[in-house]
Structure 1
Amino acid sequence: MFWKATIAQNPSFNITGNVIEINSKMPIEYATITIIDTNSKNPITGTITDVNGVFSIETRASNFYIEVSFIGFITQTFKDFSVTNNKIDLGIISLSEDLQNLGEVLIRAEKSQTEFKLDKRVFNVGTDLSSTGASALEVLNNVPSVSVNIEGEVSLRGNQGVQILINGKPSVLTNADGNALGTITADMIERIEVITNPSAKYDAEGTSGIINIVIKKSEKKGLNGSASINVGEPSSNSFGLSINKRTEKFNLFSQLGFGIRSFPRESKSINSDLINNVSINSFGESEFDEKFSNILIGTDYHLNDYNVITLSGTYAYEVEDQSSIANFNSIDASNSITNRWIRDEKTKATNPKLSYELQYKKDFKRHEDQDLLFSALGSSFRKDQSSDFLNTVIVGDDSDSQQETRTDYKLEDYIFKLDYTHPFLEKYTLETGSQYAINIVSNDFAVSDLIDGNWVNNLDLTNVFDLDQKVFALYATGAYEGDLWGVKFGLRMESTDLKTILINTNETNGNNYTNLFPSVHTSYKLNDNFSLQAGYSRRINRPGLRSLNPFSNIRNNFSISRGNPNLLPEYTDSYELTSIQKIGKASLNFSLYYRYTTDVIERVSTFVENVSISQPENIGVSNTTGFEFNGKYNPTNWFSLNGDFNINYFSRKGVFETTTFDFKGNNWSSRLTSKFKLPLEFDFELSGNYFSRFKTLQGETFENVFADFGVRKKILKGKVILNVSVRDVFASQVSETETSQPDFYLYNGDKRGRFITFGISYGFGKGEAMEFSGQRR
């Protein structure tokens, strides 16, 4: 029966309780408690639950009942309850999801849709996705041009070299080795921005594109998280845990992971002297074993509705063991083996890694898109590595020999950024900002030979290489964006100060240069289903440590690669015309692009006494004209098809020393992925990849074809996911290159083999279980 007070003074009643979700037993934050007048059915007063699902409310009403509700859950009504000392304790209140009403909401829901902006496409997340509890990766998989495979790897136009931002800034939550995107659910996401040709606002250093996930400002979703356990063959065993806690002022996030992984490889090489008709061949197997652990802790602190500070840090520690056995044969002109030996390698390394970031973002009342962002990011990495090499002679007159190497490597990176966005006159936007990046590297490398029982330092291969690079940037962009047409201009200035030194030999090298990087973007919307975008940007590719460090890799004494401290950056002018079209249940993108690159960085091989030495050089210019198509087709709710096709024609012109390198060629690649939603909540995915054979500066790279597939099963309403994935199903992915010159021939081939991974993931709170591949490095 309804409660009716009998005391004339209308005493005050204190009503308490604890609201939880019936399956997970997790507290429900922001559930609504309403005191309702029995006669008029009008609300008298109300409150909401705190982060622990607890509530307390006072009322002087004399005739009332109580309702407990939360969006997407069945409302609980209390009309019969007991009173003790003017207190009403409702105890534990379990709410269950309202699946029937949720289905009705989905039918009437606002559909997610794509808008075409000047230099990007914007995917607005509608309630068709946000009401389902989907993860951020599932939302990304609905975005045109974006594909997410069953292991959670994100690619843009078929390329996985994509940068993912959160609210316009780098974030530890987007780390590809982590599971933290699983703590971001669809109902937290306002929109996703896809940028395929970045403007002057972004680094001029090359990238395949940018995906920016914009989180709703008002979302405070309580506790979200996911945990995963993976086992695999070859050994790929890992555990990962991600937790995200959102309160009124704080968003706390953390990750913990550890595991053991193995990466076997088969390799083969041929060095042929075509003048003397002699060659040295090798074939062997190696295995790279890694033990790793990492922890991440961070928080967003909302000072108020317009100011937020982010502070986070990560620490990781890796232990590496690598072993390999390679069989070498020396063959003379009569095709007889003159020497045979086995080279045995044992390598050990430890790698501590530390990264941290401080960010401050200020929004303004006058416009939702006006904001100021400051960020400071730092990271350090160390590698302490030692290798032992033993040559055991099987055939021939040579003696057994031993070598050892030692590496002490240190890396420090710091990035400071300031960005300001100012919209005005409704259709105009001004962006400006600056960046200062510091890169400090030291590589202490030593090689020793065992001679007459004593280790003797090899001075020709031992040195300390230090690199210090500082890049200061300023940028400004201005844009007009109307209903159908818009244009955006930008200019970025980057000043680079690079210093390198070989300490033991006191060889220094410096390169100071300042460049301007303009960008122009425009778009025209013919109708809601067809738009055109055109863009131009100038890019730079600065050589990194691997390209600059002159030390030789002696893993194979007859196939040596090294860097070149005199290397210059290469520059690219990139033009692109893209059409974006929606036809029924298909989204299609066609792109024509042209790239002109100067000071092209290419590896050049030289050959002396059966030893090939590969070193990067700046050689001439490259003209590339290409066509790209990617599409997504969802004919039914249970089947989707994603396809990417890219073909380009290139022309190379250049001279190195006395050799002219002029040639033309083409290459193409394609990828087709089909996804099936099967009965009993099974998902099946199959993808095929093909990369064509193409010419290189001195030879060719062979074609490559391989397939991946995966199956996953959702249980407990998606809170638990069982996942099986197989990479390179037919073990057909082989990396092969050959170098053909008048006086020598080189062949190198590597094969990784098949990887099978089984994982179990559990999502709690509003988080969803994630598909995390334990084999990712």
Structure 2
Amino acid sequence: MKMTFKSLVSLTFFFITSIISAQTLKIRVENNSGKAIENATISSGNIVLSKTNSDGEAQISASKIIKGNILVTAYNYAETLYSFTNINTQETTVIQLEKEENKLQEIVITAGRKKENISTIPSSVTILNQRDIQNQTNISTNLSSVLGNLVPGLGTTTNKATNAGQTLRGRQVLVLIDGIPQSTPLMNGQRDIRTIDANAIERIEVIKGATSIYGNGSGGGIINYITKKSPKSDSFHGNTTIGTTFNPIHSSETFGYRLSQFFNGKRDKFSFVAGGSYDYTALQRDAKGKPLGQTDGLSNSDQINLFAKLNYAITDHTSINLLSNFYNSTQHAKYISQTGVYGVTPTIGVPGEDPGQNAGTPYNYNLMLSFSKDNLFQNTQLDVAAYLNSFRSMNRYVASASAWYGPGQTMINSDKKGIRINFNTPFSIGNIPTEITYGLDLLNDVTYQDLVDGRVYIPKMDMTNIAPYAQLKLDILENLIFKGGIRYENATVRVKDYNTIATGANGAGSIFVKGGDIPYNATMFNAGLRFNKYDWFNPFISFSQGFAINELGRILRRADENTIDNLETDPIITNNYEIGFSSRISNINLSAAYYISTSKLGANLVDVGGYLVAQREPETVKGYEISLDYRILEELKIGGNYSFVEGKAKFDDGSKVYLNGSRIAPAKATAFINYKPTEKTNVQVSWVNTGCRNRFEPASNGKYKNSEGPISTVNLLNLSANYAFNSKWSISLGVENLLNNYYYPTVSQYRALDAEYVLGSGMTSSLNLHYNF
């Protein structure tokens, strides 16, 4: 048989291809110290090729590598894309992964509605990554505690089911879940921080200072919970957690438990994250073993969270996403409060049952459908999201109240529907790289508050808001970045005719108020510069404005006029001026910021004859924040932060008064020592200090007005530890109030109310077993 030249070429090509296909590559995955990383996933083109063994090694077929690239991912490490310049089967390819917590360039979504490096953003940003969240949730799964312990400028936790007094830089904060607003600024129920379980969260982004980028209610800044993401390559994973909490010194009735199960996976173009958790908090006791007072407490409370996020990649550039999250947290108290005397004896819990309905959050439900396309025109990215949020907040039952006649219990009802359309288009002005982010926000927010017996406490407020915006970013010089933007708020709040709630028998004290439309129109501006050439000095300066129709419900419920037109319902326009910097010198990270926040109108809640009334005077809030961490050794890291804020309101006669404790938190200092002796063990000891503050004089009867009480220093020490038996099994231990301090939380001190003079929890331990597959 005669072989032609063409046949010879074909045979040679087949032979070479067969050899290449048979090539096996050896991969070793390790950290920066050369230690092997077990169970790292190696994939290419969305197909999982292998996972590393206990020596960090794996073998993959060269023929399955697409375009010469592999993606390497591992828990607690930043994902790494490795490109082969040539394929060498004789030597082991070593790939080093960077610790997630050590990444130089954090990616932030919240600040500008697009992915941005934190070094390009001219404002203060705090990012809590998965390691930060895990260390804190080992101690407590209460997100109010997690944030209060870590975020400079945010008030410490209240040790309650509410986040009363947890302002950010002295002003209200807007809480989001993947951009969906959770807060109820029309009538602040102060339950918006605890709206999702920590196990459903990938990271938390906190943008500090006034911003209108997400609309109404962000005078102090934004807290955005970024939910867990699905894997980028074909796989199926799960995480199971079972645990218990208890007071190890006074353990009777204190044993709680926690169950959590989450799955995530990807198959071809479809990916998902889904799961749920159940968390039961048993009786809480103080350092001496007494049951805590039950006023807005967490004793005997259940927390349920059901989460699902589905994604379908239509093409490499187009995808749709569906998110659903249900959250419930209610108290089923077996104790009732025995009221103490403010400044003398604490309010404690005694066996009994409240006659009212279970207080807390009966439900908070979020649903969002989003569409993304990153090559619309001229590399323009389009993101469209339609969402709804339905929120119910049940306040505790009271036998008598100054605000209405007789006993009662109120519930805040809030239903939001919205659409967000966001474009980002990159282009150039001459040789200057430029991009513009622009779009439109549509929001309908219906909020009201009534008593469970049917009486209307706050009438239905039906707000429609249309807000176009645009944000420009220019690299005006090398490493000098300018950002400036504008947003136009066009809102109308519709209120029907209503009667204020009676304060006496037979309708006494009730006033008829003629309803109508309340229009709001305002143009918000922001501008900032950041110079990011040098790691050792990365300064910024910025000006930004925020818009808030804040506490409108309180104004309506205390109406003393017969028509809405005569009420002072103007919005709060906040101006935020800030200067700061970040520095990285070797293993030292340092950041600092100073800010001034002003508004011509305020909403400080002051005590007038036993009623909390919104004070509409001009306000100025000032403060500063400093954060520092230092990696002494690869296995040893220390750090901490300090924040201080002060605020005053100014009256027409030129006199000034301090803003009270509900707005201004005392100085806060935190510190931590993190020790990781082996890859399997991690221990962190953290300290939280709240300073003293005494700004107000008692009244002639010797009593302080609501939220004007003096504050004494509080020091708390916490412990968090993790140990991994192997790549699948691990255990965690957390101890809150490690020294079993006997103390009053700041909210118990400044509120100056007998019923709320409740001690903090004594030592509380948390032990959890984790299984990952």
Instruction: Give the TM-score taking structure 2 as reference length.
Output: 0.65
Over 3 Å counting, the alpha-carbon distance change for 1:548 and 1:634 in structure 2 is farther
Q: Is the 8 A contact 1:355 1:377 kept in 2?
A: yes
State the match for 1:557 in structure 2: none
Q: Tell me, in whole angstroms, the C-alpha distance in 2 between the residues paired with 1:591 and 1:522.
A: 14
Q: Tell me, in whole angstroms, the C-alpha distance in 2 between the residues paired with 1:525 and 1:235.
A: 50
Select which of 496, 520, 526 maps to 1:513. 520
Q: Tell me, in whole angstroms, the C-alpha distance in 1 between the residues paired with 2:497 and 2:386.
A: 30
Flag structure 1 segments of 5+ consecutive residues without an equivalent.
1-34, 47-52, 54-66, 78-95, 125-134, 185-191, 267-282, 331-341, 392-401, 448-456, 553-563, 608-612, 766-777
State the match for 2:187 in structure 1: none
Over 3 Å counting, the alpha-carbon distance change for 1:103 and 1:750 in structure 2 is farther
State the match for 1:727 in structure 2: 736
Q: Tell me, in whole angstroms, the C-alpha distance in 2 between the residues paired with 1:217 and 1:329.
A: 52
Q: Does 1:764 align with 2:764?
A: no
Select which of 744, 751, 773 maps to 2:759. 751
Q: Does 1:232 align with 2:245?
A: yes
Q: Tell me, in whole angstroms, the C-alpha distance in 1 between the residues paired with 2:17 and 2:105.
A: 49
SS of the residue corresponding to residue 469 of structure 2 reads strand
State the match for 1:289 in structure 2: 300
Indicate the percent of aligned positions where both proteins have the same amino acid. 14
Over 3 Å counting, the alpha-carbon distance change for 1:40 and 1:390 in structure 2 is closer
Q: Does 1:320 align with 2:367?
A: no
Q: Tell me, in whole angstroms, the C-alpha distance in 2 between the residues paired with 1:535 and 1:548.
A: 33
Aligned residue runs from structure 1 range 412-431, under 5 A: 412-425=415-428, 427-431=433-437
Flag structure 2 segments of 5+ consecutive residues without an equivalent.
1-12, 25-40, 42-47, 62-73, 76-90, 120-126, 156-167, 183-191, 247-253, 287-291, 343-350, 501-511, 560-565, 697-704
State the match for 1:646 in structure 2: 643
Q: Is the 8 A contact 1:719 1:764 kept in 2?
A: yes
Over 3 Å counting, the alpha-carbon distance change for 1:114 and 1:296 in structure 2 is closer
Q: Is the 8 A contact 2:488 2:523 kept in 1?
A: yes
**Once the two structures are superposed, what CA deviation does each residue of 1:665-712 show, in whole Å capped at 9, x if it has no partner?**
995221112222245833222222222233557644413413242232
State the match for 1:205 in structure 2: 217
Aligned residue runs from structure 1 range 316-715, under 5 A: 316-317=327-328, 319-322=330-333, 323-327=335-339, 345-349=354-358, 351-364=362-375, 370-382=380-392, 387=397, 389=399, 404-405=407-408, 407=410, 410-425=413-428, 427-445=433-451, 463=457, 465-481=459-475, 482-500=477-495, 503-504=498-499, 506-509=512-515, 510-544=517-551, 547-548=554-555, 550=557, 568-607=570-609, 613-654=610-651, 662=657, 667-678=666-677, 681-694=680-693, 699-715=708-724
SS of the residue corresponding to residue 754 of structure 1 reads coil
Over 3 Å counting, the alpha-carbon distance change for 1:634 and 1:166 in structure 2 is farther
Q: Which amino acid aligns with 1:225?
A: G
**Once the two structures are superposed, what CA deviation does each residue of 1:506-555 show, in whole Å capped at 9, x if it has no partner?**
53455321111100011123523321111110113332477457399xxx
Q: Does 1:75 align with 2:88?
A: no
State the match for 1:23 in structure 2: none
Deviation, structure 1 residue 416: 1.3
Deviation, structure 1 residue 464: 6.4
Q: Is the 8 A contact 2:229 2:273 kept in 1?
A: no
**Once the two structures are superposed, what CA deviation does each residue of 1:144-198 show, in whole Å capped at 9, x if it has no partner?**
xx999865745443648788989988899x974141346x9xxxxxxx9875457
Q: RMSD in angstroms over aligned alpha carbons?
A: 5.2
SS of the residue corresponding to residue 491 of structure 1 reads strand
Q: Tell me, in whole angstroms, the C-alpha distance in 1 between the residues paired with 2:669 and 2:608.
A: 33
Deviation, structure 1 residue 442: 3.6
Q: Which amino acid aligns with 2:271?
A: N
Deviation, structure 1 residue 45: 9.8
Deviation, structure 1 residue 491: 0.6
Instruction: Choose 644-653 or 237-246, whichever is displaced more.
Output: 644-653
Q: Tell me, in whole angstroms, the C-alpha distance in 2 between the residues paired with 1:640 and 1:529.
A: 19
**Once the two structures are superposed, what CA deviation does each residue of 1:443-486 show, in whole Å capped at 9, x if it has no partner?**
33167xxxxxxxxx9xxx86563222222211111121143212
Q: Does 1:303 align with 2:287?
A: no
Q: Is the 8 A contact 1:446 1:462 kept in 2?
A: no
Q: Tell me, in whole angstroms, the C-alpha distance in 2 between the residues paired with 1:707 and 1:594.
A: 30
Q: Which amino acid aligns with 1:521?
A: G
Q: Which amino acid aligns with 1:320?
A: Q
Over 3 Å counting, the alpha-carbon distance change for 1:587 and 1:294 in structure 2 is closer
Deviation, structure 1 residue 495: 1.8
Q: Is the 8 A contact 2:138 2:766 kept in 1?
A: no
Q: Tell me, in whole angstroms, the C-alpha distance in 2 between the residues paired with 1:497 and 1:566.
A: 15
Deviation, structure 1 residue 228: 1.3
Q: Is the 8 A contact 1:673 1:687 kept in 2?
A: yes
Q: Tell me, in whole angstroms, the C-alpha distance in 2 between the residues paired with 1:371 and 1:245.
A: 26
Over 3 Å counting, the alpha-carbon distance change for 1:701 and 1:201 in structure 2 is same
Deviation, structure 1 residue 73: 4.3
Q: Is the 8 A contact 1:123 1:193 kept in 2?
A: no
Q: Is the 8 A contact 2:464 2:491 kept in 1?
A: yes
Instruction: Choose 715-724 or 248-257, whichever is displaced more.
Output: 715-724
Instruction: Choose 414-423 or 374-383, whichever is displaced more.
Output: 374-383
Q: Tell me, in whole angstroms, the C-alpha distance in 1 between the residues paired with 2:268 and 2:210.
A: 35
Select which of 103, 112, 117 maps to 1:112. 103
Q: Which amino acid aligns with 1:75?
A: Q
Deviation, structure 1 residue 434: 1.1
Instruction: Choose 238-247 or 376-385, whichever is displaced more.
Output: 376-385
Instruction: Give the TM-score taking structure 1 as reference length.
Output: 0.65
Q: Does 1:179 align with 2:199?
A: yes
Deviation, structure 1 residue 68: 7.7
**Once the two structures are superposed, what CA deviation does each residue of 1:75-107 show, in whole Å capped at 9, x if it has no partner?**
289xxxxxxxxxxxxxxxxxx99xxx9995328
**Once the two structures are superposed, what CA deviation does each residue of 1:97-123 show, in whole Å capped at 9, x if it has no partner?**
9xxx99953289998323899989726
Q: Which amino acid aligns with 1:424?
A: F
Aligned residue runs from structure 1 range 119-198, under 5 A: 122=117, 137-138=129-130, 153=146, 155-157=150-152, 159=154, 176-181=196-201, 195-197=207-209
Q: Is the 8 A contact 1:416 1:435 kept in 2?
A: yes
Q: Tell me, in whole angstroms, the C-alpha distance in 2 between the residues paired with 1:440 and 1:355.
A: 15
Q: Which amino acid aligns with 1:325?
A: S
Select the structure that is richer in helix.
Answer: 2
Deviation, structure 1 residue 585: 0.4
State the match for 1:42 in structure 2: 20
State the match for 1:450 in structure 2: none
SS of the residue corresponding to residue 694 of structure 1 reads coil
Q: Is the 8 A contact 2:600 2:618 kept in 1?
A: yes
Task: State the aligned residue count.
Answer: 603
Deviation, structure 1 residue 615: 1.3
Q: Tell me, in whole angstroms, the C-alpha distance in 1 between the residues paired with 2:384 and 2:128.
A: 25
Q: Tell me, in whole angstroms, the C-alpha distance in 2 between the residues paired with 1:319 and 1:218.
A: 33
Deviation, structure 1 residue 310: 0.8
SS of the residue corresponding to residue 347 of structure 1 reads coil
